[in-house]
Chain A
Amino acid sequence: MSGIAILSLIFGGLVGLLVIGMPIAFAFATVTIVSIIFLQGWGAPLQSFVLSIDSGVTNFTLLPIALFVLMGELLWQSNIANKALSAIDKWFGRVPGRLSLLSVASGTAFSALSGSTLANTAMLGKMLLPEMKRKGYADGMSMGPIIASGGLAMLVPPSTLAVFYATIAHISIGALLIALILPGLLLACCYGAFIVISCWLNPALAPREESSDFNLKEALRELVIYILPLSVVVFSVVGVIFMGIATPTEAAALGCVSSLIMAFCYGGLSTRKLIDAGMGTVRITGMMLLIMAMAIGFSQILAYSGGGRELVGFVSTLSLQPLMLIGLMMLVVLVLGCFMEQIAIMLITLPIFVPLLKLIDADGVWFAVMMLINLEMSLMTPPFGMLLFVMKGVAPDGTSIGSIYRASLPYLAINGLVIALILFNPWIVTILPSIMK
């Protein structure tokens, strides 16, 4: 049997198991074990697979996954985010689409503190959506920006998915985290520009408020109390990596400690909340690390089957332009994103994509950023985007899922636009890692 036929069987089996609802980690384990038995036989190869679980997880560079999650959980549980949101609100006067812009600004700020897209979206939705609805904001100016900016949490460091990606694709975790800063801010700026222009062209989308609340003294006071201290947390993660003071793992640990100190200083962390933060961390970390443990064995069996090599050889005979090949890879991710979960997409596609990228000599970090933005889109693509359902959960009764789908469409288009912008302007991604110490 040819390598590509084996590869097709492996992927077919995997997709079949995923579709019947088998947990992702065990679907990978099942396919790997069955492939080992058929290709390598019973006995020692299975023992090697079990040992790959050990070597797959006992990896210092995976520790940021746990620590970034813990950091975010501590900050969410302590309610600092609520206070910060109110402080950011003080800085928006009578700009068109004030609440929409507030959701983008605070969504971006919280993204720099936590990697949880679900928590980000749920919190913004709970806090801002009722007021937006009361003031007559259109869906595209209320639910749309909340979904879009909530999704930024998986891009802007600390991003657990970026760590996961970098580990699987064997690229520098620090460089990827730093490379994601500009594209994340670019996305936020594009969302903001879209909101302002749309509301300026059609004021009915977001009715202006009657009186101006802006009070410089009050705004400055809240900035100093609630926003500036949070920048210490952001610096303890991103700043120390950028300045070369600490590795991403060490930066993540410092981020946890500074978040804990911050949470205690603001008095929002009871014993109950501390326990909730810990168990919330275990819930996400345990799930991700188990998938990671299975990924090693899976990629080993893919390599053994020879299918990946044959596929790369086949693609090289097609003489595709590098940009066209990358465009095709992005299309595959986009289509998979409509139906599948991000980690599964990474594990399925990266063992094939990474050799293809080497074939065309593409920058791994540049591609990673585009793929992560694409994966962020999968959180808001109909019909199964997770954030659409989070929004449905926090939206007022009677909000149809169709209206949520429509609200997210312009922001999906913006994401696509930013991917295209990065595709033709790689410096947006490479500039910060190149000046990093």
Chain B
Amino acid sequence: MNRAYNTFLDICGGTSAILIAFCALAVSLDVILRFFGESLMWVFEVTELLLLYVTMLALPWLARERGHICVDVLVNNLSPANAARLDVCTNMAVAAICLLITWWGGLSTVDAYSRNLTNDGLVQYSLWISRIAIPFGFGLAAIEYLRLSAQSARKGVSK
């Protein structure tokens, strides 16, 4: 179960990388086509939407990798047991914030879906397609921070 979940997070991170590469290629192609009087009209809106997906797919993967930067001045000067206790508290707080954002993000997604809201760009898409990325990313991040809390708690007990 644990392994399957970790693989799923790796897939999220990998997809995020693929989306960035796709954005690079799409924008470059658009610039090149412009020289020939053509243009890819969808590039602007689609790359903007993909940026949200890049961020939200990377969010839980980065949480697992402890890649979200923090100021570790105090933590590095604490005893291992106290550092682990503090880590449990901060991770629990982050998980709570993630859950809150997941809840409100979920409501926004349902609202966009039920009212059939669309964006007002050149390329039109239903807004729930973009909004759903937020509860997805933050929901998984909440799980991840709860797992990190449990890990730190175990570490604190063993110290």
B62 in complex: contacting residue of A33, A47, A287, CB < 8 Å: A287
Q: A341 to B73, alpha carbons, bound, how many Å?
A: 11
Over the window 3-23 of chain B, the binary record of Cβ atoms lying under 8 Å from chain A Cβ atoms (1 yes, 0 no) is 000000000011011101101
Q: A278 to B10, alpha carbons, bound, how many Å?
A: 12
Q: A59 to B51, alpha carbons, bound, how many Å?
A: 8
B86 touches A339 (CB 8 A): no
A286 touches B58 (CB 8 A): yes
Nearest opposing residue in chain A for B135, CB measure: A50
Q: Contacts A18-B70, A278-B14; is A47 near B104 (CB within 8 Å)?
A: yes
**Does A146 make an interface contact (CB < 8 A)?**
no
**Does B80 make an interface contact (CB < 8 A)?**
no
Nearest opposing residue in chain A for B145, CB measure: A26
* Stretch with Cβ within 8 A of B (4 or more), from A136-144, A161-169, A246-254, A408-416: A246-254
B23 in complex: contacting residue of A22, A51, A66, A254, CB < 8 Å: A66
**Does B75 make an interface contact (CB < 8 A)?**
yes
**Does B41 make an interface contact (CB < 8 A)?**
no
For window 11-61 of chain B, which residues contact chain A by CB distance below 8 Å? 13-14, 16-18, 20-21, 23-28, 30-31, 44, 47-49, 51-52, 54-55, 57-59, 61
Q: Contact residue range for chain B?
A: 35 or more
B61 touches A286 (CB 8 A): yes
Nearest opposing residue in chain A for B48, CB measure: A58
Nearest opposing residue in chain B for A240, CB measure: B31
Q: A51 to B61, alpha carbons, bound, how many Å?
A: 22
**Does B118 make an interface contact (CB < 8 A)?**
no
B59 touches A290 (CB 8 A): yes
Q: A21 to B26, alpha carbons, bound, how many Å?
A: 38
A250 touches B30 (CB 8 A): yes
Q: A57 to B20, alpha carbons, bound, how many Å?
A: 14
Over the window 1-39 of chain A, the binary record of Cβ atoms lying under 8 Å from chain B Cβ atoms (1 yes, 0 no) is 000000000000000001111111111011001000000
B105 touches A20 (CB 8 A): no
A23 in complex: contacting residue of B21, B26, B70, CB < 8 Å: B70
Contacts of A286 in B (CB 8 A): 16, 54-55, 57-59, 61-62, 67
For window 37-94 of chain A, which residues contact chain B by CB distance below 8 Å? 46-47, 49-51, 53-54, 57-60, 62-63, 66-67, 70
B69 in complex: contacting residue of A252, A275, A282, A343, CB < 8 Å: A343
Over the window 65-108 of chain B, the binary record of Cβ atoms lying under 8 Å from chain A Cβ atoms (1 yes, 0 no) is 10111111111000000000011011001100110110011011
Beyond A18-B70, A23-B68, 19 additional pairs, beta carbon < 8 A? A19-B74, A21-B71, A21-B86, A24-B71, A27-B70, A47-B108, A51-B108, A54-B134, A58-B52, A63-B47, A252-B27, A253-B23, A275-B14, A275-B17, A279-B17, A285-B16, A285-B54, A286-B16, A287-B67
4 residue pairs, one from A and one from B, having the closest CB atoms: A286-B58, A278-B17, A253-B27, A23-B68
Can you spell out 24 A-B residue pairs with CB atoms less than 8 angstroms apart?
Answer: A20-B75, A20-B89, A21-B74, A33-B100, A47-B108, A49-B104, A54-B130, A54-B131, A58-B130, A59-B51, A60-B48, A67-B24, A70-B20, A246-B31, A249-B27, A252-B27, A253-B25, A256-B24, A275-B17, A282-B17, A282-B58, A285-B20, A289-B58, A290-B59
